[in-house]
Copies of this chain bind each other. A is one copy, B any other.
Amino acid sequence: MVRIAYLGPEGTFTEAALLQLAAAGMVPDHGPATVRRVPSESTPAALDAVRDGVVDYACVPIENSIEGPVVPTLDSLAMGSPLQVFAETTLDVAFSIVVKPGRTVADVRTVAAFPMAAAQVRHWLATHLPVAELRPANSNADAAQQVADGQVDAAVSSALAAHHCGLTALADGVVDEPNARTRFLLVGPPGPPPPRTGADRTSVVLRIHNTPGALVAALSEFGIRGIDLTRIESRPTRTELGAYMFFLDCVGHIDDDAVAEALKALHRRCADVRYLGSWPTGVLAGAQPPPCDEAARWLARLREGKPDPAGGTAQ
């Protein structure tokens, strides 16, 4: 039995992501049957449950193609005691507009929505419920609960949450922007990374000495080794305005030589490097790091004093 915390209550997109991870066999050493889902009141609380040993993993959203980074996740990963990422999955974003059974659009005067959800269905609401008043909710599931409790007439929520609360959908698959997607991570206590698959992601948090050019120099450690840097996020360090830490994602695994070299170089160069893990992405997120086998064999031959039989001769 493996316990996995997620942003609850039941019915959130995060729970759906967790079910998807479990079904795909991406929870290390566990199949779907042995996963026990533990709702948590917030993303930081889910991560703290891992830190406290209350659960084995947490499933948390990390970024959304419309809203960008999920800041509480970033800040908890960077600021609390070290955690590590072991898997990821991506969900298409699509909301259900839910009401009590029997209600119609004409009955809706108030709509509850988690602010991030409200931002993604703004155009739909303006078109279909132009006069309804928008009320804040703490999550998509909380919005549905507000409908069930009679506090509001409708909610921007998920099909899963509607089902939990006995509600029906006025509309499903609602989202303003096509291709809206959210990426979720499976986070656990530090441990050996899952084996290299050839389609992996490695992530670090850097704190950089405050000298001109230091950020570019740190980023160059990736490019100079042919490593594809796929994401950079800055977050304030909370010490003063204008001081930042940087979240970097690259294609590759700590067991790719190029990535290992880049990590060592960052460790020497930066004020602090926090390793967030290397994990499989299923499909490649960019260009693979260059293979090092041939160069490593060449170096081994040099050390033995056996130069290249054919090549290596500058002729």
B residues less than 8 Å from A136 (CB atoms): 136-138
Chain A facing B: main interface SS: mixed
Query: Quick check: A299 and B264 within 8 Å, CB to CB?
Result: yes
CB closest residue in chain B, given A178:
B239
Give bound CA distance, A229 to B218, whole Å: 14
A296 within 8 A of B: yes
Per a CB cutoff under 8 Å, which of B193, B227, B234, B299 touches A234? B234
Query: Quick check: B193 and A260 within 8 Å, CB to CB?
Result: no
A279 within 8 A of B: no
Query: Quick check: A296 and B264 within 8 Å, CB to CB?
Result: yes
Flag A101-131 by CB within 8 Å of B: 1 or 0 each. Answer: 0000000000000010000000000000000
Query: Quick check: B290 and A254 within 8 Å, CB to CB?
Result: no
Query: Quick check: B224 and A265 within 8 Å, CB to CB?
Result: yes
Smallest beta-carbon distance A208→chain B, Å: 11
Give bound CA distance, A177 to B115, whole Å: 25
Question: In chain A, residues 193-251, which have Cβ atoms closer than 8 Å to a Cβ of chain B?
Answer: 193, 205, 207, 212-213, 215-217, 219-236, 238-246
B residues less than 8 Å from A29 (CB atoms): none
A85 within 8 A of B: no
Smallest beta-carbon distance A88→chain B, Å: 11
Per a CB cutoff under 8 Å, which of B219, B236, B314 touches A274? B314
With A215-B232, A234-B231 known to touch, is A65 a contact of B302 (CB < 8 Å)?
A: no
A14 within 8 A of B: no
B residues less than 8 Å from A51 (CB atoms): none
Interface residues on A, range: 35 or more
A263 within 8 A of B: yes
Query: Quick check: B254 and A299 within 8 Å, CB to CB?
Result: yes
Query: Quick check: B313 and A274 within 8 Å, CB to CB?
Result: yes
A272 within 8 A of B: yes
Give bound CA distance, A268 to B261, whole Å: 14
B residues less than 8 Å from A68 (CB atoms): 71, 234-236
Query: Quick check: A79 and B314 within 8 Å, CB to CB?
Result: yes
Residues on A lying within 8 angstroms of B by beta carbon are: 63-68, 71, 78-79, 81-82, 84, 90, 115, 136-138, 177, 179, 181-183, 190-193, 205, 207, 212-213, 215-217, 219-236, 238-246, 254-255, 257, 260-261, 263-265, 267-268, 272-275, 285-287, 290, 292, 294-296, 298-299, 302-308, 311-315
Can you list 18 A-B contacts (CB < 8 A)? A64-B241, A65-B238, A65-B240, A66-B238, A68-B71, A68-B234, A79-B315, A82-B313, A136-B138, A179-B239, A181-B240, A193-B303, A216-B229, A217-B223, A220-B224, A255-B303, A268-B292, A273-B312
